[in-house]
Amino acid sequence: MAEFTSGNAALKQKFVSEIGKAYEEVGFVTVKNHAICDDFIVDLYKYVQQFFSLPLEKKKQYEIPGLAGQRGYTSFGKEHAKGSDAPDLKEFFQYGQKSDGSEYVPEEYPENVQVSEISSFNPTFEKACRSFEESGRRLLQAIALYLNLDEFYFDGFIKNGNSILRAIHYPPITHEPKSAIRAEQHKDINLITLLVGASADGLEILTKQNQWVGVTSLPEQIVVKVGDMLQRLTNNKLRSTMHRVVNPPRELWYPSRFSIPFFLHPKGNMSLACLESCITEVNPKNYDDATAGQYLDERLREIGLKK
């Protein structure tokens, strides 16, 4: 990211070309110099682990019916991947963006759930959302330039967008599992996902050669992957990569696994109609027109969070 923000036109173009090519060929990149400091990430994981250590009856107080898992706690086994009936082996807590009031839509911006047992939990999540959105905004500026759009094409769509910070807990494995998968293979719904580390290995991506490959970000790096909304907008020019979380070897069954992805969403009224520049004779239009809100609603129903 330092190349993109350096003020040097050649370095900026180098970053744009490299990230665009990676998203066409793979769909995942790791990025450093992203302005989210490691000390802050350590604090974020600390409060997440404290929350999931609470007794189940305490956590379930934060599971609010009717929010489709978009705010607060979602208990173990509620979500499944699109096309799969098997529940993922996880519980999670979601914290959403706060609208600045200029475009407040109650259906898109339900109130965040306040965790009373951990005083720093909500302020830390709020700060994290702002930091991730800023890093995501700059990454989308580079993507816009790669697509020959105005550099700030996405800025107005993601301001007050329905982005989500999700803290995930994969509990220890206590007996022989029915499946080797903690989270079944899936693609993300949103524009891009930013993922800071994880407390254990397990994330794998499916390559174009149809092979599963482990992905681990090094210290001071974040994983950034393309979501289905961006793939849809670019008519498959940029790839939303299939990924999953697998169980560890038996000797590592006991420790929990924690992961904190930030799903960067646009406002619900953003059109995901394929960009004209991405439609060619070789690559004709692959998707019907839809807004981001319509597509999100469809996908939440497919994965079992919305009825």
Question: Residue 123 above 60 pLDDT?
Answer: yes
Q: Which residue has the higher pLDDT, 257 or 275?
A: 275
- Specify whether the CB–CB gap between 63 and 75 falls below 8 A: yes
List the one residue out of 189, 160, 159, 204 whose CA is nearest residue 68.
189
CATH numbers and ranges of domains, the chain: 9-302 (2.60.120.330)
List the one residue out of 96, 106, 104 whose CA is nearest residue 72.
96
Question: Residue 262 above 90 pLDDT?
Answer: yes
Q: Span 230-254, mean pLDDT?
A: 86
Phi and psi of 136, rounded to 5°?
A: -65, -40
Token pair listed for 224: 């950034």
Please tell me the distance from the alpha carbon of residue 279 to that of residue 72, in angstroms, as a whole number: 40
**% of the chain residues with pLDDT over 70:** 88
Question: Residue 54 above 70 pLDDT?
Answer: yes
In the prediction, which pLDDT does 81 show?
Answer: 61
Is the pTM above the cut of 0.85?
yes
Question: Residue 152 above 70 pLDDT?
Answer: yes
Question: Residue 102 above 70 pLDDT?
Answer: no
- Specify whether the CB–CB gap between 165 and 123 falls below 8 A: no
Give the other-Cβ count within 10 Å of 6's Cβ.
Answer: 14
- Specify whether the CB–CB gap between 144 and 150 falls below 8 A: yes
Q: Span 46-54, mean pLDDT?
A: 96
Please tell me the distance from the alpha carbon of residue 284 to that of residue 281, in angstroms, as a whole number: 6
Per residue in 83-99, pLDDT tens?
A: 666 667 789 999 997 76
182 — pLDDT class (breaks 50, 70, 90) = low
Q: Span 67-76, mean pLDDT?
A: 84
- The owner of tokens 């807590």 is 93
